[in-house]
Amino acid sequence: MDEKSIIYVISDSIGETADQVTRAAAAQYEGAACDIRRIPYVSEKQTIKEIINEAKKHNSIIVYTMVIPELREYLEKEAQDQGLVYVDIMGPVIEAISHITNTKPTYKPGIIRQLDEEYFKKVEAIEFAVKYDDGKDPRGIKKADIVILGVSRTSKTPLSMYLANKNLKVANIPLLPEVEPPKEIFEIPSKRIFGLTSSPHKLNVIRQERLKALGLSFEANYANMDRILQELEYAESIMRKIGCPIIDVTNKAIEETASIILRIMKEDK
């Protein structure tokens, strides 16, 4: 390539993939001056025609990632008619995958970027759930999409993490008779708050298992039935005061409880 060599990188999305491949290939030619011009978000045939007309004035190559078949075919025809070299980065791979999987692609531009954004939202939600787990910082209450209340061992933390994987920011708050609940739970809409309760017997069994795992005596107040009843009564009084939904998780899997919360949220919207 001489000083006037130009590579037009065309895409119906941001064009990052084609740009990176082109630069990696161009880097193999030491001393060769190469002007790489990226044109993203091309969605009309007229734009393609204008680029081809400009490219034919120079010593040019067309490199492209056009997912939409109609635009890809039009670009190829125009480039061929003008005698330009053109390289399809995406098309052959899409066709190969379609062949071996016997399925059809979505032909949706920019889908990998959307998947990346979805991934980072999930990571952010998980980090949020960890940061505001078990009432660590009441400031998370006003930032949360969902706030979960309940006594110890009502599955607040695993439920928070499950919902975080649905891209929801969740804060969970333990309720204890001796500890004043954070004022923030009374300052946000009750529809963002969900209370969890359970049968005293189930909690007794779970807490005894917890004590056993910690090597502690079953005689501890934590697993005492009277204490459990006191905690449940106090927690439910707070939930009723807020006016939030109360979900009995006694015989429910995490997925089932989450499904109930998601359904209620959808109905509220």
Least confident stretch, 60-64, 218-222, 245-249: 218-222
Give the pLDDT of residue 120: 85
Quote the number of domains for the chain: 2
Q: Do 82 and 161 reside in the same domain of the chain? A: no
CA 17 to chain centre: 22
Higher pLDDT, 219 or 150: 150
Average pLDDT, the chain: 91
User: Which of 109, 128, 152 is the endpoint of a domain?
Assistant: 109
Q: Do 48 and 130 reside in the same domain of the chain? A: no
Closest CA to 137 of 169, 159, 167: 169
User: Which of 109, 124, 145 is the endpoint of a domain?
Assistant: 109
The confidence band for 105, taking pLDDT boundaries of 50, 70 and 90, is confident
Give the pLDDT of residue 113: 67
Which CATH number goes with the domain that contains 185? 3.40.50
Binding-site sequence positions for ADP: 150-157
Q: Do 247 and 118 reside in the same domain of the chain? A: yes
Q: Which two tokens stand for residue 42?
A: 């091309």
Give the pLDDT of residue 1: 42
- Reply yes or no on whether the pLDDT at 110 is more than 90: no
Q: Do 220 and 141 reside in the same domain of the chain? A: yes
Over residues 48-69, the pLDDT tens digits come to 999 999 999 988 999 999 888 8
- Reply yes or no on whether the pLDDT at 2 is more than 60: no
Higher pLDDT, 215 or 32: 215
pTM of the predicted model, to two decimals? 0.64
Residues whose CB is less than 8 angstroms from the CB of residue 163 and which lie 6 or more positions away in sequence, other chains included: 125, 129, 146, 170, 258, 261, 262
The confidence band for 112, taking pLDDT boundaries of 50, 70 and 90, is low
The confidence band for 4, taking pLDDT boundaries of 50, 70 and 90, is low
Q: Do 141 and 238 reside in the same domain of the chain? A: yes
- Percent of the chain topping pLDDT 70: 96
The confidence band for 87, taking pLDDT boundaries of 50, 70 and 90, is very high
Binding-site sequence positions: 150-157
Over residues 8-30, the pLDDT tens digits come to 999 988 888 889 999 999 888 87
Over residues 125-182, the pLDDT tens digits come to 999 999 999 999 999 999 999 999 999 999 999 999 999 999 999 999 999 999 999 9
Domain hosting 242: range is: 114-268
Alpha-carbon distance 15 to 33, whole Å?
21
Closest CA to 73 of 53, 94, 88: 88
- Report, as an integer, the average pLDDT of 201-207: 95
Q: Do 154 and 27 reside in the same domain of the chain? A: no
Give the pLDDT of residue 50: 95
- Report, as an integer, the average pLDDT of 90-117: 81
Which residues sit opposite 150 in a β-bridge? Answer: 174, 196
User: Which of 109, 138, 163 is the endpoint of a domain?
Assistant: 109
Closest CA to 65 of 5, 118, 113: 113
